[in-house]
């Protein structure tokens, strides 16, 4: 049997249909700074003081939206029945991070919600508005109006000093039964999902029980500080199997600060380098002692890495003084910095170690986005397309080095009939190379008896002919 990734916002179990996220080996553990219990009395010590401090700042979040429910096509043929509206809802958790009512949760808890309600630990309920929602990091920031009242908060621990084996508590509202506390340890750090180096997060893995409804809840350390937002689990059954993942405090802090500062989208610094995780074979050929770090496979001209002097073939060994585990951890470590920061990047080049200072910059938005909706009599009618730039690619979570015209939405029509999908890159129309949305609009406006369309999907080019 395979393990499945499960998002956990609702009472109904939502088992994901994709294989488990790839995880990478970790670097050697640092010298221990914690000491285990040394007596039976210490073993009997309670977590109650930590819970008393943290629990009042953990809230329940319910999100509702109205959806149009279609009638059975059989009855529709006879003119019977009509589409009806029904309410879809989800339940999750959240954490108060500012006393004036700023709350952080998972984006998938509130995504699409038209009515969001926050219930405090004392059962008072408040309507909430979304300040920022970021699907890629799966974080959202909400605000409730509590007047002049000061709410209890959890301090965000973004120092990165957590260690594998540290005791942690997960606090949330599983299955809607009410606030629940479970305990465990940090099982692993820097668990990443994207081997390309464009990771949005490097998760904290924990064995503390996390179940549906815990999404957006708190993962706290023994000091009662927030070290992560519980996000998803790997499970065969859809319930906790001891493999849960939380978004680290450093990224939570970035998202909250952006929202409080008036930003509606999270702007991530972009290194401007295509990275590959160092494999054992690479390590041997490069003369590295261990297979860790990220090989620079390509550098974007004029990007942050290029301006700092990073070259193709370099191996990134550290970011900001912290060892680089793999390509995804490098992307995450750089991406959690603020635009304008100067970051020290350790390199190994031609067998020698050196360091360069990289100025964090946002991904460039060149060429312009130029969103277009394709119309007319052609197979792409009904598709929304944009020009790919590193900024657009980063926003949509696709390869930031990709170029061309990206399909972002299909609104029925011929595009849906022929099987075009969001994420497809249009490469050619009737033998004409497509590089911009203007090229595509021009090509589809020409009359043709037959249409030969070439797209790129999942790294493979597909060509089909339509009458």
- 325, 190 in Cβ contact below 8 A? yes
Paired residues of 91 in beta bridges:
62
Give the Cα separation of 310 and 318 in Å (integer).
13
- 103, 109 in Cβ contact below 8 A? no
Distances (CA, A) of 399 to 226, 359, 388, 390: 32, 22, 10, 8
Q: What is the CA angle 445-448-454, rounded to 5? A: 80
Q: Residue 137, Cβ neighbours under 10 Å: how many?
A: 22
Choice among 93, 108, 221, 235 that is catalytic: 108
Choice among 90, 215, 235, 389 that is catalytic: 215
Choice among 134, 138, 314, 424 that is catalytic: 138
Paired residues of 433 in beta bridges:
428
Q: What is the CA angle 108-234-167, rounded to 5? A: 95
Residues 6+ apart with CB under 8 A from 25: 291, 292, 325, 326
The tokens describing 77, both together, are 């043929």
- Strand (E) positions, 236-328? 244-248, 273-277, 294-299, 315-319, 322-323
The tokens describing 71, both together, are 């009638």
- 354, 345 in Cβ contact below 8 A? no
Q: Answer yes or no: 138 catalytic.
A: yes
Q: Answer yes or no: 240 catalytic.
A: no
Q: Answer yes or no: 215 catalytic.
A: yes
Distances (CA, A) of 39 to 44, 47, 49, 222, 223: 9, 17, 20, 18, 21
Smallest CA-to-CA distance from 106 within 169, 63, 52, 150 is with 63
Q: Where are the alpha helices (DSSP H) in 39-95?
A: 40-43, 48-54, 73-76
Catalytic site residues?
A: 108, 138, 215
């Amino acid at each position: 049997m395979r393990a499945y990734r499960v998002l956990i916002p609702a009472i109904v179990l939502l088992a994901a249909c994709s294989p488990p996220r790839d995880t990478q080996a970790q670097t050697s553990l640092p010298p221990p700074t914690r000491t285990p219990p040394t007596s039976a009395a210490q073993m009997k010590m309670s977590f109650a003081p930590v819970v008393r401090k943290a629990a009042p700042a953990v809230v329940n979040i319910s999100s509702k939206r109205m959806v149009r429910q279609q009638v059975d096509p059989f009855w529709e043929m006879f003119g019977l029945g009509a589409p009806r509206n029904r309410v879809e809802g989800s339940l999750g958790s959240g954490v108060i991070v500012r006393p004036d009512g700023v709350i952080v949760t998972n984006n998938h808890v509130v995504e699409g919600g038209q009515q969001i309600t926050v219930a405090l630990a004392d059962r008072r309920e408040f309507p909430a508005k979304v300040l920022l929602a970021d699907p890629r990091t799966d974080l959202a920031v909400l605000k409730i109006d509590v007047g002049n009242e000061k709410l209890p908060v959890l301090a965000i621990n973004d120092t990165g000093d957590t260690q594998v084996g540290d005791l942690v508590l997960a606090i949330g509202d599983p299955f809607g039964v009410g606030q629940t506390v479970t305990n465990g340890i940090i099982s692993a750090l820097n668990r990443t999902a994207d081997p390309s180096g464009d990771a949005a997060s490097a998760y904290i893995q924990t064995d503390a029980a996390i179940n549906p409804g815990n999404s957006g809840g708190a993962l706290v350390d023994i000091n009662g500080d927030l070290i992560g937002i519980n996000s998803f689990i790997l499970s065969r059954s859809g319930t906790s199997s001891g493999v849960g993942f939380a978004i680290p405090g450093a990224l939570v802090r970035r998202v909250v600060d952006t929202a409080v500062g008036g930003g509606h989208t999270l702007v991530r610094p972009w290194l401007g380098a295509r990275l590959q995780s160092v494999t054992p074979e690479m390590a041997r050929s490069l003369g590295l002692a261990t297979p860790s770090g990220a090989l620079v496979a390509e550098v974007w001209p004029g990007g942050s890495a290029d301006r700092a002097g990073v070259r193709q073939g370099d191996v990134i060994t550290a970011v900001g003084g912290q060892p680089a585990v793999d390509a995804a951890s490098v992307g995450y470590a750089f991406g959690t910095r603020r635009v304008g920061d100067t970051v020290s990047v350790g390199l190994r080049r031609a067998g020698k170690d050196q360091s360069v200072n990289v100025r964090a910059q946002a991904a460039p938005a060149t060429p312009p986005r130029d969103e277009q909706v394709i119309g007319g009599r052609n197979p792409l009618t009904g598709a929304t397309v944009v020009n790919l730039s590193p900024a657009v690619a980063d926003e949509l979570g696709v390869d930031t080095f990709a170029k061309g015209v990206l399909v972002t939405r299909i609104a029925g029509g011929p595009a849906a009939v022929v099987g075009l999908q969001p994420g497809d890159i249009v490469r050619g129309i009737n033998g004409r190379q497509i590089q911009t949305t203007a090229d595509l609009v021009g090509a589809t406006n020409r009359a043709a008896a037959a249409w030969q369309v070439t797209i790129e999907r999942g790294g493979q080019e597909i060509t089909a002919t339509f009458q």
